[in-house]
């Protein structure tokens, strides 16, 4: 069992919140997201046996609709079902763990895109390629792109455009959130 599986199995990851945050980026609709959350709650309650009737009783859908959604989630690889033999009977055990893997991949990919956008923005403002030291500083940032863009605008206003200066602005903003309304007018253009 790897670290991620351990965290998942012991409930240390807020999977319902992650589903809520990422379901659209995963290409899911609201019904699929709600069903995943119900399946996760049932799995956490140590009821990992797939029962369409139990799921249906927790929704306003009928058995056919729930079964169709489960099939869709299987096709989208958001749900895994394993068959086990228990006391001479075969039972289906499901897991929402594949959903977590997809969410982490999406988050990693979007973080990579954000880093590339940040580097392009800074290179455009600096009018030169970034040094390896500057790229290391940027790699350490965990700020959203709009916050970074606002910090770059603040540096431009101070006529001190540099990665280190932008980094200091970001660090200060993280310590003490400021009113960003002045910069919002530039961000929305």
Q: Which tokens go with 60? A: 């306003």
Is 0.75 topped by the overall pTM? Answer: no
Task: For residue 86, give the H/E element and its range.
Answer: strand 80-86
pLDDT score, position 115: 83
Instruction: Tell me the pLDDT tens digit for each residue of 111-150.
Output: 777 888 888 888 888 888 888 888 888 888 888 888 888 8
pLDDT score, position 173: 80
Cβ neighbours of 48 (radius 10 Å): 18
Closest Cα to residue 80, out of 68, 98, 66, 67? Answer: 98
pLDDT score, position 36: 94
Query: Between 1.10.10.10, 3.30.70.360, 1.10.3720.10, 3.10.270.10, what CATH number should domain 3-101 receive?
Result: 1.10.10.10
Report how far residue 80's alpha carbon sits from residue 84's, in angstroms, rounded to the nearest whole number: 13
pLDDT score, position 76: 93
pLDDT score, position 189: 54
pLDDT score, position 113: 79
- In the chain, which stretches have pLDDT less than 70? 1, 176-189
**Domain residue ranges of the chain, discontinuous segments joined by +:** 3-101, 130-187
């Amino acid at each position: 069992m790897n670290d991620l599986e351990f965290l998942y199995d012991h409930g240390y990851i807020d999977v319902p919140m992650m589903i809520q945050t990422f379901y659209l980026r995963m290409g899911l609709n609201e019904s699929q997201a709600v069903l995943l959350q119900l399946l996760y709650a049932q799995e956490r309650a140590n009821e990992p046996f797939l029962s369409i009737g139990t799921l249906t009783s927790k929704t306003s859908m009928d058995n056919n609709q729930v079964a169709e959604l489960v099939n869709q989630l299987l096709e989208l690889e958001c749900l895994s079902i394993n068959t086990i033999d228990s006391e001479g009977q075969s039972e289906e055990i499901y897991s929402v763990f594949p959903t977590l893997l997809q969410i982490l991949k999406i988050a990693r990919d979007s973080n990579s895109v954000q880093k590339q956008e940040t580097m392009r923005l800074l290179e455009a403002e600096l009018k030169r390629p970034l040094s390896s030291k500057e790229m290391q500083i940027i790699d350490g940032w965990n700020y959203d792109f709009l916050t970074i863009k606002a910090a770059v605008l603040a540096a431009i206003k101070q006529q001190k455009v540099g990665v280190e200066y932008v980094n200091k602005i970001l660090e200060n903003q993280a310590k003490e959130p400021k009113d960003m309304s002045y910069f919002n007018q530039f961000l929305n253009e």
